[in-house]
Structure 1
Amino acid sequence: MEHEHEKNRLFGLIGKNIGYSFSKKYFTDKFEKEELTDCLYENFDLQAISQFPKIIRENPTLKGLNVTIPYKEKIIPFLDKLNKKATKIGAVNCIKITKKGKLKGYNTDYYGFKKSLEPLLQPHHQKALILGTGGASKAIAFALEELGILYTFVSRSKREDALDYKFINATTFDNYQLIINCTPIGTHPNIEECPPIPYDFFTEEHIAFDLIYNPEETEFLKRAKAKNAVTKNGHEMLVLQAEKGWTIWNK
């Protein structure tokens, strides 16, 4: 890397087919704006998580990493330590590399989501449907627990602990006032796609929250909004988790 000799603090994102990443743009802009000339942010696109140790070996100036789909759970065995909340959640999206070169895993997704959702909550928002069962959905579940909101996972795969999409009906929407999309369905470029739920049952009593931020308004959010639901995308959540990560890296 041509910048290596002049930059002495490297940060980055671990993911698969990341191409466009929120983190790289966010931190690159941040470093420019705050004149942090010794900092650089890179995307590390891994076809398999087994390539991870090589990234660490080849980049001795790395101080911190973000982790995205599909490695939030798979990264865990490669880390030296996990903080308490990341252990409970079972997923990591932020890694701090200590002065001694130890890798410590954190989860800042749950924090970003919790802070982003809180201002929208009304007393009648008692129960949530979490669409998807990957690493992101685990952080969401943890945040909902802290907020005292009951939740049920929805999945296409037959799982003991999850509801099948085909059983979601009007009654489900009466019982669950929060619908949270933790799947990648509807992400750019597949913007006409959306999770297979009956959108007609959304009302103004509902919140539709999509972790996706690109496009700004997914098909999921459009359809919920058409029924007067309160809608929010994942952008603020990402900003909040990024800043929380920055704090952790600089502690």
Structure 2
Amino acid sequence: MHRYGLIGKNISYSFSRGYFREKFEALGLSDHLYENFDLPGLTEFPLLLEKYPDLKGLNVTIPYKEQIIDYLDELHPTAEAIGAVNTIAFGPGGLKGFNTDVTGFKESLKPLLTQMDREALILGTGGASKAVFHGLEALGLKATYVSRKAGKNQLTYSELTPEKLSQYQLIVNCTPVGTHPHTAHAPELPYSGLKPTQLLYDLIYNPAETRFLLEGKRKGCRIKNGLEMLQIQAEEAWKIWNS
């Protein structure tokens, strides 16, 4: 059996399992299996490896994209630069960590950008936000984090006035706020400051239009959810596992 899977916490909603099951079926790979491994903590990770010695590859999601690095034998340079891993390859040298989120984000964002898009706000400071920051830099955009805590190159939500919010051409939500079933929630922003020239990108894909995106839609903003990003990063992971 060629076994693959996703590790994370509270991941029953995940896109990956259904995506890879459909992919395996379409390719006639009856000896391939993709499972969700819901771990209460990463101390369970070594036990998972013992239980499933036939694992060929893993995806990693919230909240383990940064913590998983301590359990790996090697990092791809991009994953090392980002400081977060979302894909693990199993090989003769052990476990190697990659970050395909950055490719998924960049490739899904590029068609939406205009010459006027130069500065971005990144909501959240977790593993996914680091890939987004790296991707924005690669695309030539200056990025600033937004967090509940003050920090270097970082604003707090309380510092975002409507006027301040309007100065950024792109706002990317990297937090889980607004994910199903908590669809009434949205990041605490002064949405009255949004302008039609802005682009709102939400890494969330369930629901397809979060309240964050709907607020932007009401203001005439360009909007994009994270589904295409997930599809691209999944295909990149598949390439890594089969290289």
Global fold match (TM > 0.5): yes
Q: Quick one: distance in 1 between partners of 2:76 and 2:152?
A: 28
Distance 2:65 2:166 in 1: 33
Q: List per-residue Cα deviations over 1:10-54 (Å, max 9, x = no partner).
A: 000000111121100110111111111110001111001011011
Match among 107, 114, 120 for residue 122 of structure 1:
114
Q: For residue 40 of structure 1, what is the aligned residue in structure 2?
A: 33
Match of 2:14 among 18, 21, 35: 21
Aligned twin of 1:212 = 204
Instruction: Report the equivalent of 1:111.
Output: 103
Match of 1:84 among 77, 80, 84: 77
One-letter identity of the residue aligned with 1:67: V
Structure 2 distance, partners of 1:19, 1:52, is 18
- Which TM-score applies when normalising by structure 2? 0.98
Aligned to 1:184: 176
Bigger CA drift: 239-248 or 30-39? Answer: 30-39
C-alpha distance in structure 2 between counterparts of 1:169 and 1:115, whole Å = 31
Counterpart CA distance in 2 for 1:203 and 1:191 is 23
Partner residue, 1:10:
3
Distance in 1 between residues matched to 2:166 and 2:12, nearest whole Å: 40
Deviations 1:52-75 (A, max 9, x none): 011111111100000000000000
Amino acid at match of 1:50: T
Q: Is the 8 A contact 2:165 2:190 kept in 1?
A: no
Aligned residue pairs, count = 243
Q: How far off its partner does 1:169 sit?
A: 1.9
Provide the secondary structure at the position in 1 that maps to 2:122. Answer: strand
- Hey, what does 1:3 align to over in structure 2? none
Corresponding residue of 1:93: 86
> What secondary structure, in the 3-state scheme, does the structure 2 residue paired with 1:75 have?
helix
Q: Which runs of 5+ in 2 are unaligned?
A: none
Aligned-partner Cα distance in 1 for 2:105–2:206: 16
Give the alignment's TM-score, normalised by structure 1: 0.95
- How well do the aligned residues superpose, as a CA RMSD in angstroms? 0.9
Q: Which residue of 2 aligns with 1:140?
A: 132
Tell me the residue number matched to 1:54. 47
Gaps of 5+ in 1: 1-7
